[in-house]
Amino acid sequence: AQSVTQPDARVTVSEGASLQLRCKYSYFGTPYLFWYVQYPRQGLQLLLKYYPGDPVVQGVNGFEAEFSKSNSSFHLRKASVHWSDWAVYFCAVSYPTGKLTFGDGTVLTVKP
Amino acid sequence: EAAVTQSPRSKVAVTGGKVTLSCHQTNNHDYMYWYRQDTGHGLRLIHYSYVADSTEKGDIPDGYKASRPSQENFSLILELASLSQTAVYFCASRTGFSNERLFFGHGTKLSVL
DSSP lists the bridge partners of residue A90 as A36
Q: What is the pLDDT, as a whole number, of residue B11?
A: 97
State pLDDT tens for residues B57-113: 999 999 999 999 999 999 999 999 999 999 999 999 988 776 678 899 999 999 999
Residue A93 CB: number of other CB atoms within 10 A? 22
CB contact under 8 A, A43 and B101: no
Q: Which residue of B has its CA nearest to A89?
A: B42
B4, B41, B45 ranked by CB distance to A99: nearest: B45
Q: What is the pLDDT, as a whole number, of residue A51?
A: 84
Name, of A1-5, A29-33, B5-9, B28-32, the range with top average pLDDT: B5-9
Q: Which residue of A has its CA nearest to B101?
A: A46
CB contact under 8 A, A98 and B96: yes
Nearest to B93 by CA among A42, A52, A100: A100
State pLDDT tens for residues A78-102: 999 999 999 999 999 887 666 788 9
B33, B41, B97 ranked by CB distance to A104: nearest: B41
CB contact under 8 A, B102 and A100: yes
Q: Is residue B34 less than 8 Å (CB to CB) from chain A? A: no
Residue A48 CB: number of other CB atoms within 10 A? 20
State pLDDT tens for residues A11-55: 999 999 999 999 999 887 778 899 999 998 788 899 999 988 899
